[in-house]
Amino acid sequence: MIRTLLYDTAAAHQSHGGQELLDTWRGNQNAILWIDLWDIPRDEESELMKQYFGIHPLAIQDAQRDRHPPKYESFSDHTFVLLKGLDAGTQDLEFGIIQIAIFAAEQRTKARA
């Protein structure tokens, strides 16, 4: 599933949607995008991150690994943070560990095509 939140800073307006908002984001210098990729094929996810955001292939590989130690890595045009979180699936003291990959960049990344 691809979920997006697009915020237009000039109009102070936000839109919720899917992949269709990526092109809107690319065409609007005043837009900030939050994208959540969940349970989509890895090759599709990888291609999307390369095509729209210019994410370094090794960072994508790290983000897609099932297990990886937490890390922080700074690239020339984006930052990659890999975190571990707790997944409390029950009311008991049982919990699992989830991996969260975050990529953050300035708007200049949008110029990539």
Q: Is the pLDDT of residue 110 over 50?
A: no
DSSP state string for the chain: -EEEEEEETTTTEEEEESTTHHHHHHT-TTEEEEEEE-S--HHHHHHHHHHHH---HHHHHHHHSSS---EEEE-SS-EEEEEEEEE--SSSS--EEEEEEEEE--GGGGG--
Same domain, 36 and 66: no
Question: pLDDT tens-digit profile of 24-54?
Answer: 998 898 999 999 998 999 999 999 999 899 8
User: Which domain CATH number covers 77?
Assistant: 3.30.460.20
Number of domains in the chain: 2
Same domain, 62 and 105: yes
Same domain, 105 and 61: yes
Same domain, 70 and 113: yes
Q: Confirm whether 47 is domain-assigned.
A: no
Q: Which domain holds residue 9?
A: 1-40
Question: pLDDT tens-digit profile of 67-78?
Answer: 888 889 998 888
- pTM value is 0.71
**Quick one: what percent of the chain has pLDDT higher than 70?**
92
**Per-residue confidence band for 10, with pLDDT thresholds at 50, 70 and 90:** very high
